[in-house]
């Protein structure tokens, strides 16, 4: 679907080159218009089924290990987005009478504090100490997720990552819960070339390997569409002041500014500090990842375009269930968009375990890559086919921030 034009072929070429870099497990509601379920698939490489290494099965709850940040600069990932989804999913499993013949699901948390070393250590601890049947999430960056995946692959333990990872099709025990990096770049490129009709673009990016990779994908597609890059800056993960960058961007005044960061604190800070500078002027701001959800109510974020994966009001079954169940447990409050990442990973793991008919971790991984795993996610039907191993074939969407709410943007083909 994506590669029907030369624009998408350019994205594919860059994707192949950039697979040498580590990538992100890409870590929002308000009002939105109804949209159809996404149907795209990604990743061309076939892989064989893993060799199962049986592990003991207990009669108690099925244990899933969740690695995220519950302390430090990125603590919002665990405290604000992770904890409510753990509560929701455990409740949903109870409501359906359990899995594997009536067993509950117990999510065991590990705080990696945003550290790559701690992410790997957490994976080992959850596997050897807690005897989990699957690992999910993986910190707040691609580097952390890569560390978790490395342990999972070595120990033959099923791991569901937020998003794309290096050489995902060749892995045997790791799958993606949302969409590939190439799929993530497509709506940004379409928005810039066909909706905003930009002539110039700037990039303000958190300095992570996966962010650098995505920027190369954006640049390839946008430049092929005639959009010239006039600003490109990578800011340290510990940065909290963007005034100098924003001042320069406002002076250069690109038609379109793409901000790429998995951390919600970044768009929040940018929205505040740009107002301190008197606003954006005519610059069209695009937040590539769903982290922009956190800033949607701020005055500085009005008019932003947000890349993401869910808005309230979607009509397909998984979206209705996600929204309704969350509201049931939270006094009518709507879930946040970023919570879908957490939700998808947990339910992908649970559905693979159910498909395998056992909590044996290696067999669950084998089931996830068997070509038979399908389930109704909040962003459409996930289909893990043998043609696209490790990917669920889901698409991101784009919303426009209007009056503190997100409105779905229908992009042209």
Common-topology check for domains 33-178+319-394 and 182-311+398-409: yes
Classified by CATH at the fold level, domain 33-178+319-394 comes out as Rossmann fold (3.40.50)
CA torsion angle 201 202 207 213 (round to 10): 10
Q: What is the mean pLDDT of the chain?
A: 86
Instruction: Give the three-state DSSP class for 44.
Output: coil
CATH of range 182-311+398-409; options 3.40.50.300, 3.40.50.2300, 3.30.365.10, 3.30.110.40:
3.40.50.2300
Which range, of 43-57, 62-76, 324-338, 384-398, averages the lowest pLDDT? 43-57
- As a dihedral over the C-alpha atoms of residue 317, residue 318, residue 321, residue 325, rounded to 10 degrees, the angle is 180
pTM given for the model: 0.71
Q: What distance lies between CA 130 and its chain's CA centroid?
A: 26
Higher pLDDT, 139 or 188: 188
pLDDT in tens, 238-274: 899 999 999 999 999 999 999 999 888 999 999 999 9
pLDDT value at position 134?
Answer: 98
Burial (CB count <10 Å: 0-12, 13-18, 19+), residue 56: exposed
What are the extents of the domains in the chain?
A: 33-178+319-394, 182-311+398-409
Is a pLDDT exceeding 80 seen at residue 5? no
- The pLDDT confidence band at residue 217, using thresholds 50, 70 and 90, is very high
pLDDT tens digits, residue range 308-363? Answer: 888 888 888 999 999 999 999 999 999 988 899 999 999 999 999 999 999 999 99
pLDDT digits (tens, 9 = 90+) for 224-238: 999 999 999 999 988
What pLDDT does residue 35 have?
Answer: 36
d(CA 214, CA 232): 13
Confidence grade of residue 38 (pLDDT, cut at 50, 70, 90): very low
Would you state the pLDDT for residue 289? 86
The whole-number pLDDT of residue 31 equals: 34
Q: Are strands 159-161 and 174-176 parallel, antiparallel or unpaired?
A: parallel
Instruction: Give me the mean pLDDT over the 397-402 stretch.
Output: 93
pLDDT digits (tens, 9 = 90+) for 116-165: 999 999 999 999 999 999 999 998 888 999 999 999 999 999 999 998 89
Phi, psi of 118 (to 5 degrees): -70, -30
Q: How large is the average pLDDT for residues 201-207?
A: 96
DSSP characters over 324-349:
HHHHHHTTTPPPPTTHHHHHHHHHHH
User: Cα separation of 108 and 102, whole Å?
Assistant: 19
9 against 66, higher pLDDT? 66
Banded pLDDT at 4 (limits 50, 70, 90): very low
Distance of CA 178 to the CA centre of its chain: 6
For residue 11, pLDDT over 60 is answered with no
- Apex 158 CA angle, 1 and 291, nearest 5: 55
């Amino acid at each position: 679907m994506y590669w029907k034009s030369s624009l998408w072929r350019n994205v594919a070429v860059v994707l192949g080159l950039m697979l040498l870099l580590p990538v992100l497990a890409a870590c929002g509601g308000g009002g939105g218009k109804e949209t159809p379920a996404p149907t795209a698939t990604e990743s061309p490489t076939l892989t064989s089924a893993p060799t199962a290494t049986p592990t003991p099965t207990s009669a108690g709850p099925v244990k899933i290990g969740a690695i995220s940040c519950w302390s430090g600069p990125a603590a919002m990932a665990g405290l604000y987005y992770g904890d409510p989804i753990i509560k929701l999913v455990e409740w949903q499993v109870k409501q359906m009478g359990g899995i594997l013949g009536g067993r509950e699901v117990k999510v065991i948390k590990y705080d990696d504090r945003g550290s790559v070393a701690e992410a790997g250590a957490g994976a080992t601890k959850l596997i050897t100490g807690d005897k989990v049947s699957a690992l999910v999430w993986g910190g707040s960056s691609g580097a952390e997720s890569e560390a978790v995946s490395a342990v999972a692959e070595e120990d033959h333990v099923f791991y569901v990552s937020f998003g794309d990872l290096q050489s995902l099709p060749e892995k045997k025990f790791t799958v993606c819960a949302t969409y590939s990096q190439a799929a993530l770049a497509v709506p940004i490129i379409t928005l810039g070339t066909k909706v905003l009709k930009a002539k110039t673009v700037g990039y303000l990016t958190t300095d992570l390997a996966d962010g650098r990779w995505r920027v190369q994908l954006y640049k390839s597609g946008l430049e092929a569409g005639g959009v010239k890059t006039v600003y490109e800056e990578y800011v340290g993960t510990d940065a909290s002041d963007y005034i100098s960058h924003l001042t320069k961007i406002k002076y250069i005044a690109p038609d379109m500014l793409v901000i790429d960061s998995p951390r919600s604190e970044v768009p929040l800070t940018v929205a505040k500090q740009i107002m301190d500078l008197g606003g954006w002027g005519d610059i069209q701001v695009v937040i590539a990842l769903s982290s922009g959800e956190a800033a949607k109510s701020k005055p500085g974020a009005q008019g932003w375009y947000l890349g993401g994966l869910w808005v309230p009001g979607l009509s397909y079954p998984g979206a209705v269930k996600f929204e309704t169940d969350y509201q049931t447990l939270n006094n009518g409050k709507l879930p946040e968009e970023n919570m879908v990442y957490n939700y998808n990973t947990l339910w992908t793991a649970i559905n693979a375990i159910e498909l395998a008919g056992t909590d044996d971790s290696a067999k669950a991984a084998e089931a996830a890559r068997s070509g038979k795993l399908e389930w109704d996610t909040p962003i459409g039907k996930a289909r893990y086919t043998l043609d696209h191993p490790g990917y669920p074939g889901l698409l991101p969407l784009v919303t426009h921030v209007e009056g503190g709410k997100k409105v779905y943007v229908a992009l042209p083909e």
